[in-house]
Chain A
Amino acid sequence: MTTAEYRAQEGTVDPGRLAERARPQIVERGLPRRPGGWLQWLTTTDHKKIGILYLVATFMFFVVGGVEALMMRLQLGAAQNTIMDGTTYNGLVSLHGTTMIFLFVVPVLAGFGNYLVPLMIGARDMAFPRLNALSFWLFVFGGIVFYMSLFFTPPEAGWTSYTPLSDDAFLPSGGVDAWIFLVHLTGLSSLLGAINFVATIHNMRAKGMGLGRIPLFVWTILVYSYLLIIALPSIAAAATMLLTDRHFGTAFFDPTAGGDPLLWQHLFWFFGHPEVYIMILPAFGIISEVLPVFARKPIFGYKAIAGATAAIAFYALLVWAHHMFTTPTATVVLAFFMLSSFVVAIPTGIKIFNWLATLWRGTIVFRTPLYFAAALPALFVIGGISGVQLAVFPVDWQLHDTYFVVAHLHYVLFGGSVFGIFAGLYYWFPKMTGRLLSEGIGKLSFWVMFVGFNLTFLVQHSAGLSGMPRRIYWYPEDAGWEAFNLISTIGSFMLGIGVMITLVNVGLSLRKGKRAGNDPWKGNTLEWFTQSPPPENNFDVIPRVRSVEPMKDIRREILEREGRPAGSVAQPMASRAS
């Protein structure tokens, strides 16, 4: 039943209009028609369409970055392999890292944020819809400019672009310049998007939704936005300095003319480490939404999780030099950054314990979103523990820049962020499309991904411990790393297949998936209050929020009032609230 029908029952709308096909208010009121077809996707300023554009574009980049990873794994699968040379391999290293960070994880979270933040806080769009469209298109053009470098020379200095290797003296071709333009364009995109999120979340919440009642996903997007605003100027400045070093004769990072390569590392990591939390916090937010819904129990320690998120963000700004423990640096500085890195582990641990306590004595319903959401703490704890080990700087002197670090960062960014993103995809796909993803295919995808992921990255700890450095395209037979690498390569292809199964699931379910209805999971937050997919104005009437779980209140009220479950009523509060 839609609003019109519902109002007709209550006698507020002329019953004659019920003869028309039931339509949402925005259509009913005769707003001008938008262009149809593909053109609407190019011109849209609707946060939901932009969100979907983000998701589609970022998942395309995810596949590209994944293929690059598999090419590298193929080369490393055997000792003294000759599939590719060092130049090609370094190109793949740089493309893979840059793609996954700048073109997948950060923007895919912006995509979820775009789609969901207005819905979850009861707003009709973002604060600045056109700015929002600009953010998306800047991101797309950043990606295109970057990948154009495939037609001449891709960058070969890694996603970190350390100087002097990235200076024109050593890499004169345009690949590094393409990387710089990508950093600028996607950086601007993220900065504008972050400002938009901050303005939206602070100003456009439903009545009664104080800062202490915003959904945890929205809370993490708010913190993500503040972190982006603080961290991005540093990389923007550094990339500009690198650009002028390369082309206009400055020497910020050139030691032969008085510059200092360590300056690059400081500026880069002042951005680079907060970036890690920018990539993980919204994933934490996603599972903080998913776990309580499937445990049929409220989130344990709402305020502790929100506070821990803010604390992580604050300390994230104070740990950057733990990436530089092996540089010539005074011991007191190393000690400071070790201790600050320890401190950041405490709020992270708090979150993990809170999730466990949320599941504890729940009534856990095993649907696909729960599988991915429960895998996050299971995998992230491994990355968190190896992170503390790496923070012990004398230990880091051995482990730094080895495959141990590669394993650590993938447990954090894949085991953490990507599993969280997949939980979000399975959880919100019904809201976005009106159809459920197939449960059977989803669970298959989960298990193939879970086993493949651990097969790929668990043994990389061991490869690192036995002395295998990162970013090498070749190793001799007598190094003793072949078995680890073969296992890792087999696992990586399994992981790739697991991801493809989910993409196939999306393709199939778009046409043939089960109809979801408004609220298939009995969610806690306001996005489940509107239709699936939501109409362009999101809500005809925005309900008043009375707790952190407004949908629970609404369902209870409907049940009391109507004597029937709320799932059968679309925007059920509409008539009363108006």
Chain B
Amino acid sequence: MIPHALAPPRRIDRRHVAGLLVLGAFVGLLAAAPDAFADILTPEDGGGSPQAERTDVLYEITLWMALPIFLLVEGVLVYSLVKHRFRRGAPEPVQVRGNTRLEIGWTLGAAAILVVLAVITFAFLPGISDPERGGPQRGGAVAVAAIDQPDVPPGGPSLNIRVVGQQYIWRYDYPGPGRLFAYHRMVVPTNTTITLDITSQDVQHSFWIPELFGKADAVPGHVNDMWFKVTEEGVYRGNCAELCGENHAEMIGEVEAVSPERYRAWADRQRSDIRAATRALTDQRRRMQAQQGAGAGSLIRQ
């Protein structure tokens, strides 16, 4: 170490000041726009879906675990660069080539942090990936049995919806009786465990509503699953998250959560609309066939 009296006087470099100013302006810019940066460090709030909330918490844990490591590395680096920079007349530095104890120490330290992270992840996993029981519901449950999602715990209301991706829209097939499907916006009852069977009929897509649940890729030939439960009424939106072609950006999915009564009303109306539309289509086809049969019989010979 250089004796203090021999150390050269501190000189504030003008360029360093300029660098600090730029850094300060940058941090200030980020801090000055709180509205735009509400989710600057963590994902959006969950909108009442327990699995999105738990993912959010798990993410925050990883962030808090990372923060000391980040500060340690940057701190030591900046400290070394400032404190140990070359000064005129400084002696040759001590030629240290390593320190086995130190190296084993930080290897074990890094491993220990990751073991803790793995344990925490596995503790959180069931709460995120396994569907939980629906309810409590007022005004009677929507009693629709799940068909091929054996994981839903019995006793609560649940609903199984098949999600089919296609360029560039989502279709949602609801279970019977009676045909019920919708495009673009999925209407679901609140406080009900919704399980999704997700697939695609052309290229790969990925179904994702950030405030309710994470991504599940829609892969043709495979069925992926996902679940969620909404407690607050509202509309939740998410983009398709796998590049699927030129209009990938416009492939948006929505979930509208409504009370069970309103859901039943919507389902009844939608069913009758579909029936009416199917009937109208059948009528139109018959009319066309009759016209064509009269005009040019050869066209319908087969």
Inter-chain contact B239/A467, CB cutoff 8 Å:
yes
A250 at interface by CB-CB < 8 Å = no
Chain A, range 478-511, C-beta contacts under 8 Å to B: 480, 482-484, 487
Chain A residue at minimum C-beta to C-beta distance from B33:
A483
Query: Is B280 in contact with chain A by the CB < 8 A criterion?
Result: no
A361/B93 in contact, CB under 8 A: yes
Contact A327 B55 (CB under 8 A): no
A240-261 vs B: 1/0 string, CB under 8 Å? 0000000000000001100011
- Report how far A457 CA is from B57 CA in the complex, Å: 24
Q: Which of B262-292 touch A at CB < 8 Å?
A: none
Alpha-carbon gap, A345 to B247, bound state (A): 37
Contact A400 B246 (CB under 8 A): no
What distance in Å separates the Cβ of B87 from its nearest Cβ neighbour in chain A?
8
Contact A302 B219 (CB under 8 A): no
A237 at the interface (CB under 8 A from B): no
Q: Is the CB of B117 within 8 A of A381?
A: no
Residues of A within 8 A of B102 (CB): 357
Interface residues of chain B: helix, strand, loop or mixed (majority): mixed
Partner of B63 from the list A170, A301, A389 (CB cut-off 8 Å) is: A389
Q: How far is the CA of A472 from the CA of B128 in the complex (A)?
A: 27
User: A residues within 8 A CB of B39?
Assistant: 462, 465-466
Contact, CB under 8 Å: A365 / B59? no
Q: Tell me if B182 counts as interface (CB < 8 A to partner A).
A: no
Stretch at the interface among B68-76, B142-150, B171-179: B68-76
Residue on A nearest B62 in the bound complex, by CB: A389
Say if the beta carbon of B206 comes within 8 Å of chain A. yes
A contact patch SS = helix
> In whole angstroms, how far apart are the Cα atoms of A157 and B175 in the complex?
35
- Scan residues 246-296 of chain A and give those whose CB is less than 8 A from a CB of chain B: 255-256, 260-262, 295-296
Among B4-12, B132-140, B210-218, the stretch that binds chain A is B210-218
Say yes or no: A326-B217 contact (C-beta < 8 A), given A165-B203, A359-B77, A395-B55: yes
List the A side residues contacting B107 at CB < 8 Å: 346, 349-350
**Smallest CB separation, A361 vs chain B (Å):** 6
> Is B3 an interface position by the 8 A CB rule?
no
Q: Which of B1-52 contact A (CB under 8 A)?
A: 19, 22, 26, 29-30, 33, 36-44, 52
B296 within 8 A of A: no
Which A residues lie within 8 Å of B26 (CB)? 451, 454-455
Number of chain A residues whose Cβ lies closer than 8 Å to a Cβ of chain B: 94
Q: How far is the CB of B294 from chain A (nearest CB, A)?
A: 39
Segment at the interface with A among B156-164, B187-195, B220-228: B220-228
- Contact of A378 with B77 at beta-carbon distance under 8 Å, contacts A261-B221, A363-B93, A472-B248 already known: yes
A48-90 interface (Cβ within 8 A of B): 85-87, 90
Q: Is B93 in contact with A296, judged by CB distance below 8 angstroms?
A: yes
Q: From known contacts A170-B203, A304-B103, A451-B26, infer whether A298 and B96 are also in contact, taking CB-CB under 8 Å.
A: yes
Contact present for B215 and A86 (CB under 8 Å): no
Check A385–B114 contact: CB distance below 8 A. no
Q: Which residues of A contact B110 (CB under 8 A)?
A: 345-346, 349-350
Q: Is the CB of A297 within 8 A of B96?
A: yes
Q: Distance (Å) between the CB of B50 and the closest chain A CB?
A: 13
In chain A, what residue has the closest Cβ to B247? Answer: A86
Bound Cα distance from A343 to B111, whole angstroms = 8
- Complex Cα distance, B77 from A29, in Å, reads 51
Question: B215: which A residues are within 8 A, CB to CB?
Answer: 326, 397-398, 400-401
| Chain B residues within an 8 Å CB radius of A392 | 58, 62, 117, 121
Residue B97 CB within 8 A of the other chain? yes
- Which residues 322-348 of A sit at the B interface, judged by CB distance below 8 A? 326-328, 331, 335, 338-339, 342-343, 345-346
Per the bound structure, the CA–CA distance linking A364 and B52 in Å amounts to 48
Closest chain-B Cβ to A366's Cβ sits at a distance in Å of 6
Binary CB contact string for chain A from 127 to 167 against chain B (1 if under 8 A, 0 otherwise)? 00000000000000000000000000000111000101100
Closest A residue to B87 using CB positions: A363
CB of A226 closer than 8 Å to a CB of B: no
A300 touches B81 (CB 8 A): no
Which of B26, B77, B95, B223 is packed against the most chain A CB atoms within 10 Å? B77
Tell me which of A85, A170, A470 contacts B202 (CB under 8 A): A170
Are A165 and B70 interface neighbours, CB within 8 A?
A: no
Residue of chain A at shortest CB distance from B238: A467
Give the distance in Å from the alpha carbon of A116 to the alpha carbon of B213 in the complex: 50
Chain A residue contacts of B77, Cβ below 8 A: 356, 359, 374, 377-378
Are B40 and A362 in contact (CB-based, < 8 A)?
no
Asked if A172 CB lies within 8 Å of chain B CBs, one says no
Apart from the given pairs A398-B215, A466-B210, 11 other A-B contacts in the complex at a CB distance below 8 Å: A156-B246, A297-B93, A298-B97, A328-B225, A353-B103, A362-B84, A364-B80, A364-B81, A394-B124, A395-B55, A483-B37
A–B Cβ pairs within 8 angstroms, 5 of them: A164-B204, A295-B84, A377-B77, A381-B73, A465-B44
